[in-house]
Chains A and B, each alone.
Chain A
Amino acid sequence: MVRTDESGLRAASAGGGFRPLAEEQLPRLYRLARRLVGEEAEDAVQDALLKAYRSYDRLEDTAAGPAWLTAILVNCCRDRARARARRPEEVELDEVEEFSLFRTIAHEDPFPYSDSLHLDFLQQFGAEDVRAVLAKLPDSYRVPLVLVYCEGYHVKEVAFFLGVPLGTMLARLHRGRKLFERQLWDYADEYGLLKEGARR
């Protein structure tokens, strides 16, 4: 569907195009925004609705509406993250490249009486902990990680959302996973999750 007439925007909403799409997608957009910008999620979704409404007449394929809204939301979230000018902790990527959470858990053996050591490690983390760990990652790594592994988008879709080549996306995912593993371990250490029965 191509909307090129001057009244396209109004026709879109009056004809039931944009509004049903937006209303249907609100819960999913909000959940994604929570992962990307935390407490600013509602504002980010509002930003995305405004931008999407203004450009709905350029959406050629209505079946692509949910992915199109996602791409707009992701960019609104990135704008907000940049505006916050929050500097994530500096990370040494070379050091992280060599890190293996699997081997670290096996070597450090935080739960000596466990017969499912690695699983027990992961079970120490609640939803708030996971959110806090993800928040420690720089946006360029956190956003692809969240979209692919938390939200289930294909890597190619995410490369499209973010406007980067597939090779760049794969490299960011690789480093994002490494950073996430490292931050999981550091967080567990810092918040006392490496003690038998700390959470259970």
Chain B
Amino acid sequence: MITCAEAVRQLWEYLDGLVDESQREAIEEHLSFCRRCCGEVEFAEELRRFLAEHPEAELPEEARARLIATLDELEKQP
């Protein structure tokens, strides 16, 4: 049996699939009766989606042209 603090400390590793079998079982047992920690898991999942869903700027055409020119220069080197 693990405490809320122990469960919360391992939640992200649990979601990342980085805990071993016994840790996974202990966390899932805890989640089966702890509503607050279930909320923590749901929020951790939301945070993961939040980080993945904020895209960065696409490569601007001018920057792409300059980087292609760099490749051209490299190929010209003796």
Report which A residues bind B (CB closer than 8 A).
Answer: 13-14, 19, 22-23, 26-27, 30-32, 34-35, 42, 45-46, 49-50, 53, 100-102, 106, 118-119, 122, 125, 127, 130-131, 145, 148-150, 152, 155, 170, 173-174, 177, 181
Contacts and interface: CB of A to CB of B under 8 A. Distances in A.
Nearest to A97: B9
Contacts of A131: 54, 56
Nearest to A35: B56
A13 B74 contact: yes
Given A26-B59, A42-B67, A50 B74 contact: yes
A177 to B, nearest CB: 6
Contacts of B39: 102, 106, 118
B40 A31 contact: no
B12 A31 contact: no
B43 A101 contact: yes
Interface in B1-56: 8, 12-13, 16, 18, 39-40, 42-44, 46-48, 50-52, 54-56
Contacts of A181: 47
List 6 tightest A-B contacts by C-beta distance, closest first: A149-B51, A30-B59, A34-B56, A102-B43, A31-B56, A130-B54
B8 A100 contact: yes
A31 B59 contact: yes
B43 A30 contact: no
A170 B10 CA distance: 11
Contacts of B50: 122, 125, 130
Contacts of A150: 51-52, 54, 56
A45 B16 contact: no
Given A27-B59, A127-B54, A170-B13, A119 B46 contact: yes
Contacts of B56: 31-32, 34-35, 127, 131, 150
B68 A118 contact: no
B52 A152 contact: yes
Which of B18, B47, B56, B71 has the most chain A CB within a 10 Å cutoff?
B56
Contact of A23 (B16, B42, B57, B68): B68
